[in-house]
A and B are shown apart, each in its own frame.
Chain A
Amino acid sequence: MKKQHIALALLLAGASGASHAAEEIRYLLWDAAQKPAYQACAAAFEQANPDLKVKVVQKGWGDYWTELTTGFIAGTAPDVFTNHLSRYPEFVANGQLLDLAPLIARDKLATNVYYPGLYEAWSRGDQQYGLPKDWDTIALVYNKAMLKDAGVTPEELRELNWNPRDGGSFGTMIARLSRDEAGHDGLSPDFDPKKVKVRGFQTSGAGGMSGQTEWSHFAVSNGFRYYDGPWSKHFNYADPKLAETLTWLADLSKKGYSAPLSDVSKLGASALFAAGKVAMVPDGAWMVGWYKDNARFEVGYTLLPAGPQGRATMFNGLADSIWSGSKHKEAAWKWVRFLGSSDCQSIVARSGVVFPAIRDLTETTLEARRAKGIDASAFVEMTQAKTFLPPIADRASQINTVVLSAIENVLLGKAEAQPALSAANAKVNEIAAK
């Protein structure tokens, strides 16, 4: 009998020991291009913490948020996941995110290593809902050969200005780079807007409530502000400065300098650009790898034009958050701390896929990109412009639907900008006030 007991005890001890050794943290992210870098981080983390395992799972942006929400309900959500500024308020409101502030204070973590503004974007009051992992800005992407053919120098392109009335020197540049099928450029009186071969400029679509790559840089450089500040319940989409910006964009399609929104909304401007049908598009820092792989010509990156209030770009940053329902909170925190450390972020920097949140690693990222033949310094230079965060608000998805539909109507030429935006803004403020 006694022997049996001992055997049983040993067996139990062994079993519990084995399960302890394999404490697994599940980590979810949406960008497939970044998975290898974070897989490498996980390997380094497991080596330093032999009792922990990290399972990196990738789900595309389209299913990502549904997957997370259903996971919260079913109790199967990942312990740690990549989070977005436009989405986290909803999760905070429903108590799904772990407040990291007490852990940061306990471990005396230095939070001033990140780009200014990144850490604060994930705070609400004294609470902290994410640790910054990367940042991105918007720059102007251009087809080098097309600009050379038109006799435009890179220096000339850097110095453009823009205004919503006549487009400024940027507007002239767009016309100059447009070509119809007969070979006339957009400045020629013979230019046929119905038969255009190359569009001078293309924006991707309506962009919803933030207009990240679509219209935000123009509107903000024209003096537009989304709202009074993060978590504000008062929005300014009725501002004439936004209306005139969108009117200018809609007119580009009417003049043939841009494709109609209905032609690009499915594929996006980047696909038209890669197909050689567009000379310039605004796009985010995370896209440089895509352009490298998909454009069969040399692609350049330069500063966005300066508007009436100077140059502006959205400065967006992702962070890693811990699910409040996680059964491995301490281990999850260890992993998040590692993700936010220079140990992991320098691995990410060397992969050259995105700019890590830690300021000192920017040069490493640029070098990694230079080694692949990409000069991405324009994105870093854009951080010196007037930067702004995407709008952070409760009920963002409902607000987004309203704004998206109004801007689609304007860009499709189905509605006048000012009345459409005024009506949308009234609805937005009604939703926000609830």
Chain B
Amino acid sequence: MNDKLQARERRAGPIPWQAALPRPGKDTLVAWGMVLPALIGFAIFYAYPLLQAVRTSFTDWNLLSAPGWVGWSNYVELWQDDKFWHALKITAYYVLLNIPLQTALGLFLAAAMDRLLRSVALRAVVLFPYLLSNVLVAMIWLWQLDPTLGWVNHALDAVGLSSHAYFSDPDESLLTIAGVNIWRHMGLVALLFLAGMQSIPRDLYEAAAIDGASEWQMFRRITLPLLRPVMVFVLVTSVTGSLQIFDTVAVATAGGPAESTRVLVYYIYENAFSYYRMGYASALSVVLCLIMVLYTFVQMRLLNANQSDLA
């Protein structure tokens, strides 16, 4: 409890660095100097392409002929395009299949590693799937889950369970892709949570233990609330990453079977590189970007991401 008391005292008194604030000059210059390299990279590789994409979304560019200005017509078409709404729906389903389970499993693994099994080797093993490239992961599972040649179905057959078509059945394909990505990302999420857990002062747990709290109560009352900033970071990065799901779909199902996995980014890819409709693909990308910005904003607001209960 010592840290918390100190923190409270500090908050009450004058904050030392505040006095030094109105002094732009050397420090500001140094700060900008340090930010500059990142800023240049951001401008060249993010801001400029983003502006270009926004501009392209108002044209009918097809890659091969000169673009012509078409105003808002791509956006009007998008609003009326049932394939866009279908892709958006599929993407939303995917996020719902992917995130809750992935976050819960990551949290469980992190808690287990923090409180019960403090082994470095175990942490490495848990992170391993994340070190493989997306394409490789998709290939590995494609073979393992092949309906006729994969060992998973052979194993199910051997114990008398019914086999599945996984990626090739429209009812199972999206769930299978979600499962593969949960397998791949769970370890990273766990590691992020673990880092957050280790910044929680140990004496809180000691005090709780003396008061007779169970492991579950400590998790509920101490770990979870103090993990909030990490939770926000994990949710924002994993949800936006999940909204952008593409590689696994491109390798394993190509949007099929029967459009059951045509997620938004795959639909963008098809428009750009199969139908040569760069303008329309850009409009779709701009909309996806806005959805992600909106989500991030709401998420940060809802969970007060900027404040920690420890400070």
Q: In the complex, what residue of chain A is closest to B274 when comparing beta carbons? A: A397
Question: Is there a chain B Cβ closer than 8 Å to A127's Cβ?
Answer: no
B258/A405 in contact, CB under 8 A: yes
Q: Is the CB of B170 within 8 A of A96?
A: no
Interface centre among B64, B65, B258 (most CB of A within 10 A): B258
Answer whether A272 and B148 are a contact pair too, CB < 8 Å, given A266-B142, A266-B167, A397-B274.
yes
Q: Report the nearest B residue to A400, measured CB to CB.
A: B274
Contact with B along A83-101 (1 / 0, CB 8 A): 0000000110011100000
User: Is A262 a contact of B274 with CB atoms below 8 Å?
Assistant: no
Asked if residues B64 and A262 are in contact (CB atoms below 8 Å), the reply is no
Asked if B114 lies at the interface with its beta carbon under 8 angstroms from chain A, I say: no
* A266, A408, A412: most-surrounded residue (chain B CB, <10 A): A266
A265 is contacted by which of B257, B274, B276 (Cβ under 8 Å)? B257
Query: Which chain A residues lie closer than 8 Å to B276 at the CB level?
Result: 69, 90, 94
Q: In whole Å, how far is A230's beta carbon from the nearest beta carbon of chain B?
A: 20
- Expressed in whole angstroms, the minimum distance between the Cβ of B177 and any Cβ of chain A is 14
Residue among B148, B170, B259 making CB contact with A263, cutoff 8 Å = B148
CB within 8 A of B64: which of A73, A263, A398, A409?
Answer: A73
Question: Of B64, B146, B270, which one neighbours A95 at CB under 8 angstroms?
Answer: B64
A433 to B56: give the CA distance in the assembly, Å: 24
B257 touches A412 (CB 8 A): yes
Contacts of A267 in B (CB 8 A): 146, 148-149
Q: Is the CB of B259 within 8 A of A405?
A: yes
| Interface size grouping (class) on chain B | 20 to 34
Check: B196 CB closer than 8 A to any chain A CB: no
Interface set, chain A 47-87, CB cutoff 8 A to B: 66, 69, 72-73
A204 to chain B, nearest CB (A): 13
**Chain B CB within 8 A of A404 CB:** yes
Nearest Cβ distance between residue A242 and chain B, in whole angstroms?
17
Q: Is the CB of A96 within 8 A of B64?
A: yes
Task: Assess whether A401 is in contact with B64, with CB atoms less than 8 Å apart.
Answer: no
Chain B residues with CB below 8 A from A408, complex form: 170, 256-258
Q: Which of B168, B270, B275 contacts A266 (CB 8 A)?
A: B168
Contacts of B142-199 to chain A: CB distance below 8 A = 142, 146-149, 165, 167-170
Note all chain B residues with C-beta closer than 8 A to A397: 274-275
CB distance from A51 to the nearest CB of B (A): 32
Q: Which residues on the A side are within 8 Å of B165 (C-beta)?
A: 260, 262-263
Q: Per-residue CB proximity of A305-323 to B under 8 Å, as 1/0?
A: 0000000000000000000
- Report whether A265 and B148 are in contact in the complex, using a CB–CB cutoff of 8 Å: no
A187 and B279 alpha carbons, distance in the complex (Å): 56
Is B47 an interface residue, CB under 8 A from the partner? no
B233 → A minimal CB distance (Å): 36
Q: Which residues of A lie under 8 Å from residue B168 when comparing CB positions? A: 261-263, 265-266
Is A262 a contact of B147 with CB atoms below 8 Å?
yes
Q: Within 8 Å CB of B142, what residues of A?
A: 266
CB distance from B73 to the nearest CB of A (A): 12
CB of B82 to closest CB in A, whole Å:
9
List chain B residues, Cβ under 8 A from A401. 270, 274
List chain B residues, Cβ under 8 A from A261. Answer: 168, 257
Closest A residue by C-beta to B149: A267
A66, A90, A401, most chain B CB atoms within 10 A: A401
Residues on the A chain within 8 Å of B258, using CB? 405, 408-409, 412, 414
| Residue contact A94 to B147, C-beta cutoff 8 Å | no
A72 to B63, CA, bound (A): 9
A26 interfacial contact with B, CB 8 Å: no
A263 touches B147 (CB 8 A): yes
| A69–B64 CB distance below 8 A | yes
Question: Which residue in B63, B147, B148, B257 is a CB contact (below 8 Å) of A73?
Answer: B63
Given the known interface contacts A262-B168, A262-B169, the answer about A94 and B256 at a Cβ–Cβ threshold of 8 Å is no
CB-CB contacts below 8 Å: A369-409 with B: 395, 397-398, 401, 404-405, 408-409
Task: With both chains docked as a complex, state the minimum distance between the C-beta of B273 and any C-beta of chain A, in angstroms.
Answer: 6
Counting CB contacts under 8 A, is B296 at the interface? no
**Chain A minimum-CB-distance residue to B256:** A408
Q: Which residues of B contact A414 (CB under 8 A)?
A: 170, 258
Which chain B residue has the least Cβ–Cβ distance from A205? B257
- Separation of A401 and B277 alpha carbons in the complex (Å): 14
CB distance from B203 to the nearest CB of A (A): 56
Q: Which of A318-350 contact B (CB under 8 A)?
A: none
* A96-B147 Cα distance, complex, nearest whole Å: 42
> Nearest Cβ distance between residue B260 and chain A, in whole angstroms?
9
> How near does chain B come to A431, taking the closest CB pair, in angstroms?
9
CA A244 to CA B256, docked complex, whole Å? 23
Q: B259 near A398 (CB under 8 angstroms)?
A: no
Chain B positions 42 through 72: 1 when the CB is less than 8 Å from some CB of chain A, otherwise 0 = 0000000000000000000011110000000
- Residues in chain B near residue A95, CB distance under 8 A: 64-65
- Asked if residues A266 and B63 are in contact (CB atoms below 8 Å), the reply is no
Are A266 and B64 in contact (CB-based, < 8 A)? Answer: no
In the bound assembly, the distance between CA atoms of A409 and B275 in angstroms comes to 22
Q: How distant is B164 from chain A, measured CB to nearest CB, in Å?
A: 9
Residues of A within 8 A of B274 (CB): 397-398, 401
Separation of A95 and B63 alpha carbons in the complex (Å): 12
Q: Is A262 touching B270 in the complex (CB atoms < 8 A)?
A: no
Contacts of A277 in B (CB 8 A): 148
A405–B90 Cα gap in the complex (Å)? 15
Residues in chain A near residue B259, CB distance under 8 A: 405
Which residues in B have their C-beta under 8 angstroms from that of A262? 147, 165, 168-169, 257
CB pairs A–B below 8 angstroms (26 shown): A72-B64, A73-B63, A90-B276, A96-B64, A262-B169, A263-B147, A263-B165, A265-B168, A266-B167, A267-B146, A267-B148, A272-B148, A395-B275, A397-B274, A397-B275, A398-B274, A401-B270, A401-B274, A405-B259, A408-B170, A408-B256, A408-B257, A409-B170, A409-B258, A412-B170, A414-B258
Q: A262-B257, A398-B275 are in contact. List 16 more A-B contacts (CB 8 A).
A: A72-B63, A73-B63, A94-B62, A94-B64, A94-B65, A95-B64, A260-B165, A262-B147, A266-B146, A267-B148, A272-B148, A397-B274, A398-B274, A405-B256, A412-B257, A414-B170
Top-4 shortest CB links A-B = A262-B165, A94-B64, A262-B168, A408-B258
